[in-house]
């Protein structure tokens, strides 16, 4: 998954047409690999296949290679390609900077998604660069449809600057 495959060598022979002059086309059994994402090169009558599966998808696809000679005659062969899943890191998007008044509560949202996880199932942890101003115990959140609603309440009678690090992990 998420990796291009290149330089798979294969041969095609024809008594009347050199391999590099054959018309090579492809067919795919499903959308895991689009025909538009299959290509080849030819060097010294050796053909090299390259293909790229659709991002964040896995499964099995049958690829058919069709060789057509100058006279219009064709020959085809197929192979099965297993695309194995890989663990994708969660993706997080959020506001980067905001300010608030002392002794008040601020709210903001962030979106966190993961290809292998259900909405709102990700673990979120916080780290404050200034725990005298904001301890992580004063941060809470709820989630609806991958949108996390964060509420922060700084420690009483404190002011200053801090960086809040937010980490999202899947299980």
Higher-pLDDT residue of 10 and 97 is: 10
3-state helix vs strand vs coil in the chain, percent to 5: 5, 45, 50
Are the beta carbons of 155 and 107 closer than 8 angstroms? no
What is d(CA 87, CA 56) in angstroms, rounded to the nearest whole number? 9
Tens digit of each residue's pLDDT (9 = 90 or more) over 82-135 = 999 888 889 999 877 888 889 999 999 999 999 888 999 999 999 999 999 999
Average pLDDT estimate for 134-153? 95
The answer to whether the predicted template modeling score (pTM) of the entire model surpasses 0.75 is no
Cα-trace Rg, the chain: 27
Tens digit of each residue's pLDDT (9 = 90 or more) over 13-48 = 999 999 999 999 999 999 999 999 999 999 999 999
Are the beta carbons of 134 and 155 closer than 8 angstroms? yes
**CA distances (Å), 77 to each of 4, 12, 34, 61, 118, in order?**
21, 10, 17, 14, 39
Phi, psi of 35, deg, nearest 5: -60, -30
**Cα 75 from chain centre:** 36
* Two structure tokens written together for 54: 């659709």
Which contiguous run of DSSP H or E holds residue 123? strand 123-128
* CB atoms closer than 10 angstroms to residue 47: 19
């Amino acid at each position: 998954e998420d990796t291009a495959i290149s330089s798979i060598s294969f041969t095609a022979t024809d008594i009347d047409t050199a391999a590099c002059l054959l018309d090579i086309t492809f067919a795919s059994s499903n959308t895991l690999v689009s025909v538009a994402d299959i290509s080849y090169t030819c060097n010294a009558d050796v053909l090299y296949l390259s293909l790229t599966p659709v991002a964040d998808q896995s499964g099995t696809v049958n690829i058919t290679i069709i060789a057509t000679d100058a006279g219009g005659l064709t020959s085809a062969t197929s192979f099965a390609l297993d695309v194995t899943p890989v663990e994708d890191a969660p993706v997080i998007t959020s506001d980067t900077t905001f300010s608030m008044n002392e002794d008040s509560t601020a709210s903001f949202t962030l979106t966190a998604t993961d290809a292998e996880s259900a909405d709102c199932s990700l673990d979120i942890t916080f780290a404050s660069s200034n725990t005298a101003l904001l301890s992580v115990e004063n941060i809470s959140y709820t989630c609806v449809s991958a949108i996390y609603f964060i509420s922060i309440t700084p420690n009483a009678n404190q002011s200053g600057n801090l960086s809040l690090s937010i980490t999202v992990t899947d299980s």
